């Protein structure tokens, strides 16, 4: 198991760089994680997505799908794809420290 | 060594039953989720899934479908339980099977077909209808849902599909 240092804290990550333990994540790690995958600045809209994902994951125990983000989180699919280009579900989960999503939709 | 990443996929949907339409939609949506360019080309009976008046009424084919035993676990029967094709012609059976599949899809967070097309379109997937099939079934573009970008000839479809993989479903 690999490790990396984010916001001064050493955390375990899988071989694709996703955090292994969502509980290790803190908000100040998000900007560093975002930079790693080519998102240089997190806007308020990005944060809305990240916070919804964290909250929903805490309540439901699974990473919300794109559909759930739209229907339960009020985040339009178009915006999601614009904010996290080329793979919004994976990229947003990466930044939110939630591990890699395994759903097909 | 990692294989070269797929960059583009064009999926032809030629069937108009619920079970005939979903695989193409799932593959196209899944492609967009991976950052892969996706085109959907609806032809022949596949156009049923784009018709404004039919999109909410798609059904499972319960006749001539010898693999329907696969639905038996949804009814708490073993998967080996046969589904006699003669049962499929009874009134309400196709409706019931369709209702059951829709429920199961909803449980798995798979959207109904109309919402799915909207999501794929919002995700940047392109949705096209086949001109020849439109002419054959006497359809006009305004009969189809708004997500349909264009009516294409086969030649135009191949142009759009250039440089990518083509899947026929």
CA nearest to A77 within chain B: B122
Residue A4 lies in a domain: no
Any idea how long chain B is? Answer: 169
Q: How many CA atoms within 13 Å lie on the side-chain side of A65?
A: 17
Please tell me if residue B23 touches chain A, with a CB cutoff of 8 Å.
no
- Provide the ipTM: 0.91
Please tell me if residue B2 touches chain A, with a CB cutoff of 8 Å.
no
**Architecture in CATH of B8-56+112-169:** 3-Layer(aba) Sandwich (3.40)
Report pLDDT digits (tens) over A74-88. Answer: 999 999 999 999 899
CA nearest to B118 within chain A: A77
Record: contact B109-A76, CB cut-off 8 A: no
Alpha-carbon gap, residue B11 to B27, rounded angstroms? 8
Q: Is A38 a catalytic residue?
A: no
- pLDDT band for A103, please (50, 70, 90 cuts): confident
Record: contact A77-B111, CB cut-off 8 A: no
Record: contact A87-B33, CB cut-off 8 A: yes
Record: contact B111-A105, CB cut-off 8 A: yes
**Given A1, A40, A102, A104, which residue is catalytic?**
A104
Residue A104 lies in a domain: no
Q: What ranges do the domains of chain B cover?
A: 8-56+112-169, 62-111
Domain containing A51 equals 25-95
Residue A16 lies in a domain: no
Residue A29 lies in a domain: yes
8 Å CB contact between B67 and B60: no
Residue A15 lies in a domain: no
Collapsed DSSP state (helix, strand, coil) of residue A13: strand
Residue A11 lies in a domain: no
pLDDT truncated to tens, each residue of chain B (169 aa)? Answer: 568 889 999 999 999 999 999 999 999 999 999 999 999 999 999 999 999 999 999 999 898 888 999 989 998 999 999 998 888 899 999 999 999 999 999 999 999 999 999 999 999 999 999 999 999 999 999 999 999 999 999 999 999 999 999 999 9
Question: Minimal CA–CA distance to A98: which of A65, A68, A59, A53?
Answer: A53
């Amino acid at each position: 198991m690999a490790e990396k240092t984010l916001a001064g804290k050493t955390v375990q990550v899988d071989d694709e760089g996703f955090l292994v333990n969502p509980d290790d994540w803190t908000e100040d790690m998000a900007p560093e994680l975002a930079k790693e995958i080519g998102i240089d600045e997190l806007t308020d809209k990005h944060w809305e997505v990240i916070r919804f994902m964290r909250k929903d994951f805490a309540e439901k125990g699974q990473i919300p799908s794109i559909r759930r983000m739209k229907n339960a989180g009020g985040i339009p699919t178009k915006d999601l794809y614009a904010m996290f280009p080329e793979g919004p579900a994976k990229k947003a989960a990466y930044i939110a420290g939630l591990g890699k999503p395994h759903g097909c939709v | 060594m990692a294989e070269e990443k797929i960059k583009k996929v064009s999926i032809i949907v030629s069937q108009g039953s619920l079970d005939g339409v979903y695989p193409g939609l799932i593959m196209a949506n899944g492609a967009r989720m991976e950052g892969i360019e996706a085109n959907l080309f609806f032809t022949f009976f596949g156009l049923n899934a784009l018709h404004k008046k039919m999109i909410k009424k798609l059904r499972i084919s319960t006749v001539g479908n010898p693999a329907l035993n696969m639905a038996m676990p949804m009814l708490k029967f073993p998967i080996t339980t046969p589904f006699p094709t003669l049962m499929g012609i009874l009134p309400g059976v196709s409706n019931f099977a369709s209702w059951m599949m829709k429920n199961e899809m909803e449980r798995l967070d798979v959207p109904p077909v109309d919402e799915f097309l909207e999501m794929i379109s919002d995700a940047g997937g392109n949705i096209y209808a086949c001109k020849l099939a439109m002419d054959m079934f006497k359809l006009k573009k305004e009969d189809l849902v708004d997500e349909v970008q264009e009516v294409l000839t086969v030649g135009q479809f191949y142009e759009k599909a250039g440089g990518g993989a083509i899947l026929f479903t």
